[in-house]
Structure 1
Amino acid sequence: MADWVENYWRLRWDLPDGVVYRSSTLPHPSCTLSVERGVTRSEVGADPVVLTGVVRHRFEVPARGRSWVFAVKFRPGGLAAFAGLDAARLTDRVVPARGLLPASVVTACANLDETVADECCVTRLDAALTAARPPTSGGDTDYRQLLGVIDDMLADRTLLRVGQIEQRHDIAARRLQRMFARYVGVGPKWVLARYRMHDAVRELDGGYTGTIADLATRYGWYDQAHFARAFTDLVGAAPGDYRDRHARHPG
């Protein structure tokens, strides 16, 4: 499943009555298949098996009570390539997986709960996904090209503009836009900006001591005020405040 799946993950919590922990995560250009039991997100209804599309804002979940989550994080574009979906239909949405994924995959998820060992959860779901995967003979050339672009965005921090991607991969702007809309659900500019913002956060986490203006320029923002607004919207704190807080409480 490595062509489509990035990783499997599990989360559980058991909090006393009245205690709420607000979990906050930076958004990634990935879709997730999850089974969520207990006190779940407000977006999860009676069916615990859901698909979460790319979230364009800071991903926040108020954790309370007792809950258990097991999930598959697809590679960028992986869910659309695997299931033949239009990823743009899922952007900023949480929807039941039933009817969108093969019934065998949904059933495998529905049969998982906190009594099943983590390794067994992975084995069962990986087997269900593998049995339902699309044929690879010939391959999906658009998806393969998309993965190459995504890998390049992640590996090369000097890529700051979509035009650089178009030139390096010899791909027309309109085709690149269509490819990202179909497979990822957001445009290449958004994905590139998110990856560079993640780089900026990692710099601050690693003890960056330069100016915020230099940090902004390094990752493609030539207006420090614009960078500060984008950082604050995504992280929940201004860059300088975030650095000061991390210095006081490393890790």
Structure 2
Amino acid sequence: MTEPTNSEKGILHPREQARHRSLNRLAAGPEAGRFVEWYWIVEWDLDEPYTAEVLPFPAVNVTFEQPGGAFVNGVCTRKFERELRGRGRAFGVKFWAGGFGAITGLDVGSFRDEVLPLSAVFPDGDRLTDLVFEAESDVRRRAVFEAFLHDHLAPPDPSYELVREIVSTMAADRSLARVDEVTERFDVPIRTLQRLFRRYVGVGPKWVLRRYRLHDGAELLAQGEVAELAELSASLGYFDQAHFSNEFKQQIGLTPAEYAARAAAERQITYR
């Protein structure tokens, strides 16, 4: 198994969140790993409520939570906020971009920004939920889910493999800022690319590029690694600092300068 990333991309105010909840990840097995990127486990035990914020990846997640149940979370195009209260725990499955659509045959764009009961997608989802809740460890929960997934695995799909390669490149290469650069690199017509992203990813290629560049910007700001916002904006492919700042605030709720200041204050609290 390839160990999952310990990156904090997508997690807003990561140091602050770490003081209120724990986050662990498990790698996917070789067979399931064609479709599942990693498993995540969040636990909290709080005296006061805390709102955790995430700028989601372009991916479908399946979540198991007690109390609550099991759900399929479509690609979320907005900032995701979850109020954590008391004591709780969630076990989640993060699919590769396109992975859930490849397994189910569903048009992932049809449930973008929606949360569906697991049983609405898999008729035997209630039985899976019971088995996951009965498992005595997260490693066992992974095994239960992957045994279930084995019975639903799709045959090799060249279109999905292409989508996964394109999305992985978008995430890793900060120099990619425009869709025409993607179509040129992969020699895929724009209409074909848009159709594939709608079917497998649930959002368009332009949205995916912008989301990954915002992930990059927020991560660098949280780490205190940005000296000049104008330079950061240019490195992420924005026309100018104003365009970056406007989109950042629209999606995250703070300007880049405000986000960086909050992160700097949190670093002082963490290491004082």
1:194 corresponds to: 211
2:62 corresponds to: 33
Return the alpha-carbon distance in structure 1 between the equivalents of residues 59 and 245 of structure 2.
Answer: 24
Structure 1 gap segments, 5+ residues each: 41-47
1:91 corresponds to: 112
Cα shift at 1:60: 0.4
- Are residues 1:132 and 2:152 paired? yes
Deviates more, 1:110-119 or 1:159-168: 110-119
Cα shift at 1:64: 1.5
Q: Secondary structure at the match of 2:195?
A: helix
Deviations 1:166-199, CA, capped at 9 Å, x for gaps: 0110001101000000101100000011111111
- Are residues 1:171 and 2:188 paired? yes
Deviates more, 1:236-245 or 1:202-211: 202-211
Return the alpha-carbon distance in structure 2 between the equivalents of residues 21 and 113 of structure 1.
Answer: 25
Cα shift at 1:144: 0.9
Q: TM-score, normalised by structure 2?
A: 0.82
Q: TM-score, normalised by structure 1?
A: 0.88
Structure 2 gap segments, 5+ residues each: 1-31
Return the alpha-carbon distance in structure 2 between the equivalents of residues 244 and 134 of structure 1.
Answer: 47
Give the conservation status (yes or no) of the 8 Å contact 2:35–2:99: yes
Q: Secondary structure at the match of 1:113?
A: helix
Q: Secondary structure at the match of 2:40?
A: strand
Return the alpha-carbon distance in structure 2 between the equivalents of residues 154 and 2 of structure 1.
Answer: 18
- Are residues 1:8 and 2:39 paired? yes
Code of the aligned partner of 2:166: V
2:53 corresponds to: 24
**Given the superposition, is the C-alpha separation of residues 114 and 230 from structure 1 closer, same or farther in structure 2, using an over 3 Å criterion?**
farther
- Are residues 1:108 and 2:128 paired? yes
1:74 corresponds to: 95
Give the conservation status (yes or no) of the 8 Å contact 2:44–2:89: yes
2:172 corresponds to: 155
2:29 corresponds to: none
Report the count of equivalent residues: 237
Q: Secondary structure at the match of 2:219?
A: helix
* CA root-mean-square deviation: 1.8
Code of the aligned partner of 1:13: W
1:60 corresponds to: 81
Give the conservation status (yes or no) of the 8 Å contact 1:102–1:132: no
Return the alpha-carbon distance in structure 1 between the equivalents of residues 153 and 183 of structure 2.
Answer: 30
Percentage of pairs with the same residue:
36
- Are residues 1:216 and 2:233 paired? yes
Deviations 1:197-226, CA, capped at 9 Å, x for gaps: 111122223322422122111111113222
